[in-house]
Structure 1
Amino acid sequence: MGPDLLHDAVLHDSAQELAAVAAPFLLDALACGDGAVVAVRPATANVLREALADDPLVQVHEHRYLYRPRTSAAITAFHRLGEQASPGRRIRVVGEVDFGTTAAECHEWQRFEAAINHVFAASPLWRLCLFDTQRLPDVVLTTARSTHPHLLTAAGRAVNHDYVDPATYLSGLAAPEEPVERTPPELTADDVVDLIALRRTVRAHLDTVAGPPDLVEDYLLAVDEMVSNATRHGRRPVGLRLWTPPGRLVCTIRDAGTGPTDPFAGYGPAHGEDLSHGGMGLWLARQLCDHVAISRDDQGSTVRLSTSWA
């Protein structure tokens, strides 16, 4: 049985502090036979290259090498990286998440930082996440303290007493408001009973959207999966609202049930690698859409799917 996930954070306020913590972490990886990978912003990469004297054994990449635009793709990238670990060894990753510029993007990456503690629990990865206290907003720094079991400083590694159990953190993280929902939807279905007819209607509306055809087709599939999920696992009535403002697609699917009870739903197929058992709906939606938000109230649960393009 190999090593399990370690997930640490560095909260630094200068390039010197960053180098003093991250460089020894990477050099120690090489000394003990672990892999060493860096996926950070260009400015941070320059600091680490200098501190490491451009050691060729440390793989230095731009942060998108692992932190893909969608969190689902980032999870896949980390899974593949973990598979490269030598038996009994880890791959150490110094990473820097871009939490984006919108509330929806920040929400996705907040969830990512918590969810990976569960998703990668048995993975031979040692993630060291960098947080610049001079550059990042308070909401991101609070996320750092809430989602990393340990903190690493120049003085050493210490238990993080602000860490929150991932399931508890995810359950308490409210989805951000979507302003377009305050406007009249372009398509409304209040009690879905004919899935095929609804799919045709949604397609007819999406056919009028001037977006990338592959992206729009992916979005249609995600909507179809979520409506099917609601009718199979939720409670009637199942309702749908669709908005298509310029450059964006937003759809909400609502039912009278409680929604998914597993806070990690959608961060992998429900039945692991064996897809024949189903359980793919939310997982597929996260693959196919930029943002997937789940909310609940006294009347039921709602899944909101959103995607945008330049």
Structure 2
Amino acid sequence: MSAARRGGGPGVVGFAHDALLYDDPAELLAVATRFLREGLDAGEGAVVAVGADVAAAIRDALGDDPRLHVVDRAEVYRVRTPAAITGLRRTAGRLTAGGVPRVRVVGEPDFGGTEQDRYEWQRYEAVVNAALADAPLWGLCAFDARQLPGPVLDTARRTHRALTTGAGRAANPEFTEPADVLRDLPVPREPLEDTRPHLVARDVTDFIGLRHAVAAELAALPGPREAVEDLLLAVDEMTSNAVRHGRPPVDLELWTGDERVVCRITDRGSGPQDPFAGYGPAHGADLSRGGMGLWLARQLCDHVHVARTASGTSVRLVTRLR
């Protein structure tokens, strides 16, 4: 990736990714307004996806410019990270088609209230460096240093090539290659896996029978039917992946609790080598070539973790019931 593309500023042809770690909402307002005003003055588009109070203040400061779009941050940072990546790419495409050379985005993700939620969004901050590398976007990600846990702030420093403060913008010496960040992030424990599974299937060969068995277990759950059906589809996809791309035997374990369901599919293959697998279709826009299983699973489940060991590969799917 070229220095111009990485660094932001004039001549950038792809994604720039900056971080602002702030202690005061007034600092966020001042830095975001300056960042977006510079872009508007250069003929660029602007998107604001932060809390409602700061977003309204930014709009007041910048005036009624038609290139300024204030959106609900939940619409940009959707519940699941692949949807957020797709949404940002579509936003860039739509606005650049309208004539702007690049789009600046000030965003503040909601990292959620659990360790698993935070893990997914920490991964997202690393993944977008690769997933959006060719997108005409300049993102300024805001992190509330008063409220976010230390590990989230540490990830912010490792996943953004530049840091911005009220004093200006500077290259970030702590930036780490995204693949290394993904490898180093500690995977949250799943307490349900310490309990007895409700369903165990070893050396699976009857996949129709397995689907019926999983569906029967899920049918008794109290959660939303849509979430349960999404999980069943994700289990189908991951089981099929294990058969097509892994090595037998294929095993499945299913745990159910009051608040979530966990399913783990294991095979004896080496698993996907690409650390960014599942954050987009494997073959890009050509969906006819397949390669969508893990991508679909990441959109259908709240948490997806792929673990590769010397003995095989396992995929853990987690769906919340409430």
TM-score, normalised to structure 1's length? 0.94
Q: In the alignment, is residue 236 of structure 1 matched against residue 242 of structure 2?
A: no
Structural mapping, 1:1-310, within 5 Å? 3-52=13-62, 57-86=67-96, 87=99, 89-310=101-322
Maintained 8 Å contact 1:242/1:250 = yes
Maintained 8 Å contact 2:222/2:321 = no
Tell me the secondary structure at the aligned position of residue 85 of structure 1.
Answer: helix
Alpha-carbon offset, residue 43 of structure 1: 3.8
2:211 is aligned with what amino acid? R
- Separation of aligned partners in 1, 2:146 and 2:57: 16
Alpha-carbon offset, residue 80 of structure 1: 1.1
- Separation of aligned partners in 2, 1:309 and 1:47: 37
- Separation of aligned partners in 1, 2:67 and 2:310: 55
Alpha-carbon offset, residue 158 of structure 1: 1.3
Spell out, residue by residue over 1:145-171, the C-alpha distance to the aligned partner (whole angstroms, 9 max, x if none).
011111122332211110110111112
Maintained 8 Å contact 1:85/1:124 = no
Maintained 8 Å contact 1:45/1:62 = no
- Separation of aligned partners in 2, 1:61 and 1:85: 14
Alpha-carbon offset, residue 258 of structure 1: 2.1
2:308 is aligned with what amino acid? R
Alpha-carbon offset, residue 227 of structure 1: 0.8
2:26 is aligned with what amino acid? Q
Unaligned runs of 5+ in 2: 1-10
Maintained 8 Å contact 1:2/1:89 = no
- Separation of aligned partners in 2, 1:269 and 1:57: 31
- Separation of aligned partners in 1, 2:148 and 2:185: 19
Alpha-carbon offset, residue 136 of structure 1: 1.5
1:98 is aligned with what amino acid? D
Tell me the secondary structure at the aligned position of residue 83 of structure 1.
Answer: helix
Maintained 8 Å contact 1:3/1:122 = yes
Maintained 8 Å contact 1:3/1:88 = no
- Identity %, equivalent residues: 54
Alpha-carbon offset, residue 298 of structure 1: 3.2
Alpha-carbon offset, residue 285 of structure 1: 0.3
Maintained 8 Å contact 1:250/1:307 = yes
- Separation of aligned partners in 2, 1:88 and 1:66: 19
Alpha-carbon offset, residue 44 of structure 1: 3.1
TM-score, normalised to structure 2's length? 0.91
- Separation of aligned partners in 1, 2:321 and 2:55: 28
Most deviating of 171-180 and 91-100: 171-180
- Separation of aligned partners in 1, 2:236 and 2:179: 27
- Separation of aligned partners in 2, 1:110 and 1:282: 19
Q: What's the RMSD between the two structures over aligned residues?
A: 1.8
Maintained 8 Å contact 1:82/1:123 = yes
Spell out, residue by residue over 1:200-246, the C-alpha distance to the aligned partner (whole angstroms, 9 max, x if none).
11112112222222221111110011011112111222111111212
Tell me the secondary structure at the aligned position of residue 252 of structure 1.
Answer: strand
Most deviating of 102-111 and 200-209: 200-209
- Separation of aligned partners in 1, 2:83 and 2:321: 17
Tell me the secondary structure at the aligned position of residue 319 of structure 2.
Answer: strand
- Separation of aligned partners in 2, 1:254 and 1:44: 46
1:138 is aligned with what amino acid? G
Unaligned runs of 5+ in 1: none
Maintained 8 Å contact 1:15/1:47 = no
- Separation of aligned partners in 2, 1:89 and 1:56: 15
